[in-house]
Amino acid sequence: MEIAKDWSVLPEDQAETVIYGVRNGIPLRMLAMKPSVSGAPVPCLVFIHGGGFTGGSAEMLLPYCRYFVRRGFACFTVDYRLMQTGEEGAPADGAVTLAECVADCKAAVRYVRRHAGLWGGDPDKLVLAGESAGGYLAAAVTALRHVEEEEADLAVSCVPQFLVLYNPITQLLSKWKMRVEQPGDSDPDGDSEADRWLARHRRARELSPLLHLTGAHPATLAVHGLEDTVVLPEDSAEYAVRLRGLEVEGQLVLLPGLQHAFALTNYKSPDEVVEQTMLLTARFLADHGYGTMG
């Protein structure tokens, strides 16, 4: 590959660690990289890592930052609070919730928008990209306008100009409902099991980006492996289909033979698959006037 595949910061990266907020005493961190050549403001590209909402780190997508910095982007890869889980993968009592993960990522995007000039970035040219659970969070930042924390700076938009999703979770009505908390107004003693199930189902609908798409959604590229059993390719396919139904550009690329997390370096895929994914992304953005192909 033309870039280092390491999931760790290298001296040549000149990556800056930035604290974009503090929640419950936990500093929220991102890594920032800017192009080596200064000039006119460049597009900003913000990456959100996966890990099932319980693991992972910003470093996982450093190879993508290296690739796109070379193509004229200011790049950022974001950490967010991770969830502690209990029985059957559900959030433990008092654990970070999906809505709080979304709020963290919205705060990160808004931070980049407010401070883009520090890295030579254009705040009005922002791309958001996410992988797996990070794909969910990127889609949620974009589509779930009703999910905001009290201290959110609503004067700064968190909606990107373009969205890129790699094997994203786009709905929480089936397997991934396990990460949805039981609503706080649900009474474990007074409510029936059916009532509690329905309350959690309603919460899953509220938090499913697929169910909250509008014609204001940005143009989107979704890339998914057809052999993915962790997040089914239907999640990406339906997202793209519904966007097109709203007359929004929804590009869908389905990759035969590839499993979940195909986009990551040093993981399941050979280098050529990761390079293909990077190239698909670069072409999508270049076609819209963002960055260069080489």
Domain presence at residue 6: no
Question: For the segment 222-231, what is each residue's pLDDT rounded down to a tens digit?
Answer: 999 999 999 9
CATH code of the domain in which 21 resides: 3.40.50.1820
| Residue in the structure block whose two tokens are 């929804």 | 250
Residues of the chain with pLDDT > 90: what percent?
Answer: 82
Q: Name residue 49's amino acid.
A: H
Domain presence at residue 56: yes
Q: Name residue 113's amino acid.
A: R
Asked whether 161 and 127 are in contact (CB, 8 A), the reply is yes
Residue 160: predicted pLDDT: 98
| Whole-number Å distance between alpha carbons of 165 and 99 | 19
| Whole-number Å distance between alpha carbons of 231 and 241 | 17
Domain presence at residue 168: yes
**pTM of this prediction exceeds 0.85:** yes
- DSSP three-state, residue 221: strand
Q: How confident is the model at residue 86 (pLDDT cuts 50, 70, 90)?
A: confident
Where is 98: in which H helix or E strand? helix 98-115
Q: CB under 8 Å to 24, separation ≥6 — which residues?
A: none
Residue with the bigger pLDDT between 156 and 190: it is 156
Two structure tokens written together for 134: 């990070």
Query: Phi and psi (nearest 5°) for 168?
Result: -85, 145
| Whole-number Å distance between alpha carbons of 52 and 172 | 12
Given a cut of 70, whether residue 184 has pLDDT beyond it is no
Domain presence at residue 294: no
Could you please report the per-residue DSSP string of 108-171? HHHHHHHHGGGGTEEEEEEEEEEETHHHHHHHHHHH-TT---TT--TTS----SEEEEES----
Q: Percentages helix, strand, coil for the chain, rounded to the nearest 5?
A: 35, 20, 45
Domain presence at residue 3: no
Residue 185: predicted pLDDT: 55
Q: How confident is the model at residue 104 (pLDDT cuts 50, 70, 90)?
A: very high
| Residue in the structure block whose two tokens are 């969205």 | 163
Strands in 250-255's sheet, in edge-to-edge order, are: 16-23, 26-33, 74-78, 42-48, 121-131, 162-166, 219-225, 250-255
| Residue in the structure block whose two tokens are 């260069």 | 292
Torsion (CA) 74, 65, 207, 256 in degrees, nearest 10? 130
Question: For the segment 267-289, what is each residue's pLDDT rounded down to a tens digit?
Answer: 989 999 999 999 999 999 999 99
Domain presence at residue 1: no
Q: Is the dihedral of CA 49, 107, 89, 235 positive or negative?
A: negative
Domain presence at residue 164: yes
Asked whether 147 and 140 are in contact (CB, 8 A), the reply is yes
Residue 275: predicted pLDDT: 96
Range of the domain at 195: 11-287
Residue 178: predicted pLDDT: 94
Which DSSP category does 179 fall into? G
Residue 129: predicted pLDDT: 98
Residue 281: predicted pLDDT: 98
State which of 83-87, 152-156, 165-169 shows the largest mean pLDDT. 165-169
Q: How confident is the model at residue 149 (pLDDT cuts 50, 70, 90)?
A: confident
Two structure tokens written together for 176: 């991934």
Residue 222: predicted pLDDT: 98
Domain presence at residue 24: yes
Given a cut of 80, whether residue 37 has pLDDT beyond it is no
Residues of the chain with pLDDT > 70: what percent?
Answer: 97
Two structure tokens written together for 46: 């913000």
| Whole-number Å distance between alpha carbons of 273 and 277 | 6
How many domains is the chain built from? 1
Given a cut of 70, whether residue 10 has pLDDT beyond it is yes
Q: Name residue 291's amino acid.
A: G
Q: How confident is the model at residue 189 (pLDDT cuts 50, 70, 90)?
A: low
